[in-house]
């Protein structure tokens, strides 16, 4: 796989993640990508959640990522 790009969905060790940064960003180490795995603890505000969550982003070597399958798009 070529180096992942921002916005791409990838898999890392069986987990789905979104690429939110690349080594073109000053805060991402060389040959790494920044991944957001989502927050399963989140509760919608409309369902009583408070909002204001702080996303956790991990930087990992880009070579550890594989392209995710095409997403199922719902409307």
Summarize pLDDT for 53-65 with one digit per residue, the tens. Answer: 778 899 999 999 9
Instruction: Identify the CATH assignment for 1-40+55-69 out of 2.30.30.30, 1.10.730.10, 2.60.40.1940, 3.40.640.10.
Output: 2.30.30.30
Distance from C-alpha of 10 to C-alpha of 3, rounded to nearest angstrom: 11
* Per-residue tokens: 11: 């898999």
Question: Edge-to-edge, what's the strand order for the sheet holding 15-22?
Answer: 57-61, 32-36, 15-22, 9-12, 66-67
9 touches 45 (CB < 8 A): no
pLDDT in tens, 21-71: 999 999 999 999 999 998 766 777 788 777 777 788 999 999 999 999 999
| Separation between Cα atoms, residue 46 and residue 17, nearest integer Å | 25
Domain positions in the chain are 1-40+55-69
pLDDT at 34: 98
Token output for 14: 């069986």
What confidence score (pLDDT) does residue 69 get?
A: 95
């Amino acid at each position: 796989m070529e180096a992942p790009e921002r916005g791409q969905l990838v898999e890392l060790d069986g987990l789905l993640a979104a690429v939110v940064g690349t080594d073109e960003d000053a805060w991402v180490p060389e040959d790494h990508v920044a991944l957001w795995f989502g927050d399963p603890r989140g509760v919608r505000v409309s369902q009583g959640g408070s909002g204001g969550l702080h996303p956790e982003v991990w930087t990992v070597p880009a070579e550890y990522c594989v392209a995710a399958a095409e997403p199922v798009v719902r409307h």
